[in-house]
Every structure is written in C-alpha cells, then in structure tokens.
Structure 1
C-alpha cells in the first residue's frame, strides 16, 4: 500500500541547463570575489608599508624601547614592594 502512494507522487525534475548555468555563475562570482580580496589586501599591505616607512623610529627600535620601559617599571614596582615589606 505504501508503494502505491509513492508511485502517485509527481516527479521532481530539475532543469539541468539552468542548474549548470547557476553553478558556473556561482563559481565565477567566487573567483571574482577571491581576486578582489587579493587586490584589496595588496593595496592595504602597500599602504601599511609606506606608512611605517614614514615613521621617525623603526618598529624594532620602538619594540625594544617599550620592552626596556616595561622591565624598568617592573623593577621599580618590585623594589617598592620589597621596601614596603621590609618596613612593616
């Protein structure tokens, strides 16, 4: 009885040409999006490099200076904590 009901259902038909055209357009759109993203990324990298080259101090030197300042601040805090602990 179940097979009788299944045979009376209408067939699901897909227009293959439209499906193929949709797949091609989707692939083309994805490729164009990828190329656009690569071009935008290259433009941002180029702009970033130019911006960094305009700095008066090199990024490595800035990083070294910041690390040195952090170490000095840490030592000062540790010394202040130790002297406070000794006074109590």
Structure 2
C-alpha cells in the first residue's frame, strides 16, 4: 500500500508549502482534499479518460466526505484543450 499512497506526496508538499504554519488538523483536511485533486489529475494520464473528456462522454468528479461534520463536498474537473502556440 505504501507505493500506492506515494502518488499523493505532491498533495502533501503543496499543503506544506502553502499552509505550513496552519494547525495540523487543518493541514490534514486540506491534504485530503488536495489528494483527491491529485487523483483526478492522475486519471488524465489514461488516454481513454482524456478521450472521454474531449468527446464529453465522460465527466470526472471529486468528492470529500467529512464524517465528523457529516458533510460531503463534490467538485468537477474542468477540462479543455487550448490551441498550440509556438515559442
């Protein structure tokens, strides 16, 4: 399971960089939510997922359940293609 959990190390790094002085409990909650974002981003590494998003036959949603408060947050991944530019 250790290797599987490592995928979310960028979430931890982002929270530490942006909110390193916040209370630990707040950092944990934000890290959990950011881990959902990392997982959504990881799904984009699959060609069939990207294809489904482009064709609008697939939508990705992220969810976070706070069992202490009994609340559920749901968010969408906005996906779009931009024109290529020469640099």
- What is the TM-score with the length of structure 1 in the denominator? 0.31
From the CA coordinates, give the structure whose radius of gyration is larger.
1
Structure having the larger proportion of residues in strand? 2
Higher RCO (C-alpha 8 Å, min separation 6) = 2
Higher helix share: 1
